[in-house]
Copies of this chain bind each other. A is one copy, B any other.
Amino acid sequence: MTRDPNDRPDRELPSGEEALIAAFWAPLAAACPGAYGLKDDCATIAVPPGQELVVTTDALIAGVHFIPEDDPTSVAWKALAVNVSDLVAKGATPLAYVMNVGLPSLDRAWLEAFSGGLRVAQQAFGCQLVGGDTDRTPGPLSISITAFGTVPSGRMIRRSTAQPGDYVYVTGTIGDAALGLALLQDPQTGTRCGLDEAASTYLAGRLSRPVPPLALAPVVRACASAAMDISDGLMKDFDRLCRASGVAGRIEAGRVPLSEAARAILACGGASLTDLMSGGEDYEVLATIAPERAPELERLAAAAGTRTTRIGDITRGSPGAVAVSASGEAITFVKSGWDHFSQP
């Protein structure tokens, strides 16, 4: 036990955990009566009649999911976005979240920027902070968020209910975040491929500030037979969806939607299409849809301003996913996506 009462905070700060909560977290909870101003031990969440709560939890750890020097407003955005991404892909409407923060030091400027970033993110995503726990840690900065959304009872869209014959759709573009990370690790790639600053900034932003397709949640709920978010790589997550559903899935690689910046890097050989299809952190929605619902999906998604692209099909067959080239040949992946615990 290292509960050292002489442990000194690093900078001038409001004294005590309650003052810290009041200064940085309570303003984020002000609009939600069930948060009780973060002054009580628990929050209450009233779920409207006929609805049920959808719950997800994801953590960001400095040195694993972000760089300690990253802009705190982006870290805050991403910590909430990765959770909202799960809700949206399940057809749920974001409602609230609780947050555990482990702080290696107390830095007023960092806390102000981080809580400011959360304010912007929760406004964008339509949810409120309702509770949390702030601890000192001898380890890296860590942020665990548990997010809540609502769906009409029984209407959460699962990953295990895809049907043979379904079409496969994704939102947005694939692989941008992986390229953002690649540029961070080797900035020369951008120069080599003639990327301008706007394109580099775009890719970096896709890594640091993913924007889950919020407007798609009701469309997913209305149309999709199965859905999940793409966080560990398109191929890995599609494979998971197919195995969970007990179906075979096929992606036509040429149909995978790419940004202009990604096309430029592909064209100059700075990355391969399989890199993009197995790169993590897209935070887009992968959905399967019965063919007769597809026109409705496309119409509703367009009306919501969300880009959707049909990239493949679900068939009977051995459960799992494959990608094929334009000529129909299977494409081999060295690594289909990211796994924290994979054995190399």
A residues adjacent to B (C-beta < 8 A): 1-3, 5-9, 13, 15-20, 34, 36, 39-47, 49, 52-59, 61, 63-67, 86-87, 89-90, 92, 98-100, 102, 106, 130-140, 142, 144, 146, 148-149, 151, 153, 156, 158-160, 181, 184-185, 228-229, 240, 244, 280, 335, 338-344
Contact = CB atoms under 8 A, between A and B. Distances in A.
Contact of A102 (B46, B61, B89, B229): B61
Contacts of A9: 341, 343
A131 B57 contact: yes
A8 B45 contact: no
A44 B151 contact: yes
A193 B19 CA distance: 39
B57 A146 contact: yes
Contacts of A67: 1
Copies in the complex: 2
A45 B55 contact: yes
A9 to B, nearest CB: 6
13 contacts: A1-B184, A2-B64, A5-B344, A17-B341, A39-B159, A42-B55, A42-B86, A42-B90, A47-B53, A102-B139, A139-B139, A139-B140, A142-B142
A42 B75 CA distance: 22
Contacts of A58: 100, 133
Contacts of A55: 42-45, 98, 130-131, 148
B2 A63 contact: yes
Contacts of A185: 1
Contacts of A132: 57
A58 B100 CA distance: 7
Contacts of A342: 5, 15-17
A341 B106 contact: yes
Instruction: Please name the 3 residue pairs, one residue from A and one from B, whose CB atoms are nearest each other, closest first.
Output: A139-B139, A15-B343, A146-B146
Contacts of A43: 54-56
Contacts of A90: 40-42
Interface centre among A47, A90, A99 (most CB of B within 10 A): A47
Given A142-B102, A146-B98, A41 B56 contact: yes
Contacts of A15: 341-343
A340 B228 contact: no
Given A39-B159, A45-B53, A61-B137, 16 more contacts: A1-B184, A3-B338, A7-B344, A18-B240, A19-B341, A40-B158, A40-B160, A41-B86, A42-B92, A44-B54, A44-B151, A55-B131, A55-B148, A61-B102, A100-B100, A134-B340
